[in-house]
Amino acid sequence: MSADLRARWRHRSLGAPRELSLSTGRIVCHEAGEGEPLVFLHGLFTNANVWRKVVAALSGDFRCITLDLPYGSHTVPVPDADLSFGGLAGMTVEALEALGLGDVTLVGNDGGTAVAQVVAVTRPDLLSRLVLTDGGAYDNAPPHRYRSVLKAIGFAPLARELILGPLRWRPMRRMPFAQGWLTSRPVDSATSDSWVLPALVDDGVYADARRMLRALDPTVMPEVARRLSDFTAPVLVAWSTKDQVYLPAHGERLAADFPDARLVSIPNSGVLLGEEKPFELATRIAEFVRATGSAPVTATAPTQKVDEHA
């Protein structure tokens, strides 16, 4: 495990960390709040911090659990794990079982959206609802816009030095191939460091990232899409109207492919809705749970500034 605390930092709004021992290794989760469980999944080269603002808004009414998936910005290497979409979905299922969770609302973003769909079609018994935000679906997982650079990180001999290394300099992170397509404005330094540094300072995390990028098969999600109609629980699709990585048409298609789905369009955001439109997204999630259940819940405006280095 890296000694660089910047790589291991998680915002306090996510709650207390906990390591879960799974059949293929350990993953870290954070938990905040009490009530009906919401489980949040992030995407490639981000971690639980992607959800810090949304959790701050929802943890007054819900038990919010964020998983640090081994997507390249995690802290505990998993050298024996299957890091394909199916393998990551299997780790998510094991995490839910280790936490004693069933009937959860599973929330995905970016690569976590792809994993959430796999969980939905393979273990629908664990889910009471599904929330999909801008992320991988159909033929766009991994996303076409990033596919060449992701392939280079996965296979090129000097990728760590030549591609990831320059991202130590924070202004470089605004390049399109890095975080520039994810958000319309820079991410705060502490959060951005926690996404970029793990693969740079920890050999095991970097090895995981390369195995993961080699394992993510773009033919998997079209096959998963053929089974979406089998998932009959309520689905919320919340998608940005301005996303250049995961086009709005895929959000519309997802909403049409599930039997019980509703589509919400959120303007003026990139991929990371939880980063740019956290309170609007949290409000939509709370409304969705209220409309499909019995608990009268509302999103609560956070009382602390969640971009601070806390």
Measure the CA–CA gap between 60 and 93, rounded to whole angstroms.
25
The DSSP-derived string for 226-295 is TTGGG--S-EEEEEETT-SSS-HHHHHHHHHHSTTEEEEEE-S--S-HHHHSHHHHHHHHHHHHHHHSS-
- The pLDDT of residue 3 is 61
Measure the CA–CA gap between 256 and 229, rounded to whole angstroms.
9
Q: Please, which residues have CB within 8 angstroms of residue 153's CB and are 6 or more apart in sequence?
A: 159, 163, 164, 209, 210, 213
Measure the CA–CA gap between 56 and 195, rounded to whole angstroms.
19
Backbone angles phi, psi at 168, to 5 degrees: -60, -30
Backbone angles phi, psi at 29, to 5 degrees: -130, 160
In angstroms, what CA-CA distances link 154 with 58, 61, 172, 215? 36, 40, 20, 9
- The residues spanned by each domain of the chain are 5-292
Q: Which residue has the tokens 């936490």?
A: 99
Q: Please, which residues have CB within 8 angstroms of residue 30's CB and are 6 or more apart in sequence?
A: 10, 14, 15, 16, 17, 18, 48, 65, 66, 68
Q: What's 5-292's CATH class?
A: alpha beta
> Is 71 in contact with 41 (CB distance < 8 Å)?
no
Per-residue pLDDT of the chain (310 residues; tens, 9 = 90+): 556 899 999 999 999 999 999 999 999 999 999 999 999 999 999 999 999 999 999 999 999 999 999 999 999 999 999 999 999 999 999 999 999 998 999 999 999 999 999 999 999 999 999 999 999 999 999 999 999 999 999 999 999 999 999 999 999 999 988 999 999 999 999 999 999 999 999 999 999 999 999 999 999 999 999 999 999 999 999 999 999 999 999 999 999 999 999 999 999 899 999 999 999 999 999 999 999 985 444 444 444 444 444 4
State the DSSP code for 18.
Answer: E
pTM of the predicted model as reported, rounded to 2 decimal places? 0.93
- The pLDDT of residue 102 is 85
Nearest 5 degrees, angle CA 43-CA 46-CA 48?
90
